[in-house]
Chains A and B, each alone.
Chain A
Amino acid sequence: MTHLDAVPLWVALPAALLLVLGSGLTLLGAFGLARLQSFYDRLHAPTLGTSWGTAGIVLASVLLFSWLEGRPVLQELLIGVFVMLTTPVTLMLLGRASLHRDRAEGSAAVPPAGNARPADRGTAGADGARGAATPPAWP
């Protein structure tokens, strides 16, 4: 712990707060992932970890490394920007895949595709015989 003892208190306190905030939010998100009831509820829980969980740990890392190296170390922000850009993409795709699977099975837990976009109707109408006939709902 030699390199951490040299850090002044005004850097250490915000960094420690950000670390505890980020890791605590990530733990809460994973707890929600394990505890929530339906899949569409569980889809929201890990975003705690990818929004402020990642942001807290990345900001703490930027703060500490900038002081330790004596220059602005901003490359950790790259991870934060990347995670914040990719998480909505992956979770929207996963949610649409799950909705597609539930509708294909005729599950009663999801609303039917009656008021969806016109492009979605092709896959929802043909329940059992989804084959080469209908174009993909998702491009």
Chain B
Amino acid sequence: MSGTILALALGFAQVALGLAGGLAVLTILRGPRAQDRVLGLDTFYVTGMLLFLVTGLRSGSLFFFEAACVIGVTGFVATVALAKFLLRGEVIE
């Protein structure tokens, strides 16, 4: 019973997060300006991180947590660097 409920919820979460990642990729490809693409990349990072967490729940191992942590940190640094680049034309001056 509880296994079925959890399996349904985890399946729904994986499908929803996959769709969200697809929409973020669509924004990266389509976005009319550069800032839209950076925003899409940030959304894609967050979605991928959440997908790793849900996959870790499904497999029952704690190792996916570390992958999700790394994805979160790299996503933050990537978005800040790209926004800085859009603002000034250089990342480090």
Given the interface pairs A46-B46, A54-B50, the reply to whether A90 lies near B69 with Cβ below 8 Å is: no
Q: Please tell me if the beta carbons of B20 and A29 are within 8 angstroms of each other in the complex.
A: yes
Q: Please tell me if the beta carbons of A90 and B53 are within 8 angstroms of each other in the complex.
A: no
Interface centre among B10, B12, B13, B72 (most CB of A within 10 A): B13
Given the interface pairs A4-B2, A83-B72, the reply to whether A31 lies near B23 with Cβ below 8 Å is: yes
The 6 A-B pairs with the shortest beta carbon distances in the complex, nearest first, are: A16-B9, A12-B2, A5-B3, A30-B20, A23-B13, A23-B16
Q: Which residues of B contact A (CB under 8 A)?
A: 1-3, 5-10, 12-14, 16-17, 19-21, 23-24, 26-27, 33-36, 38-40, 42-43, 46-47, 49-50, 53-54, 56-57, 60, 62, 65, 68-69, 72-73, 76, 79-80, 83-84, 86-88
Q: Which residues of A contact B (CB under 8 A)?
A: 1, 3-9, 11-13, 15-17, 19-20, 22-24, 26-27, 29-31, 33-34, 39, 42-43, 46, 49-50, 53-54, 57-58, 60-61, 64-65, 68-69, 73, 75-76, 78-79, 82-83, 86, 89-91, 93-94, 96-98, 100-101, 136, 138
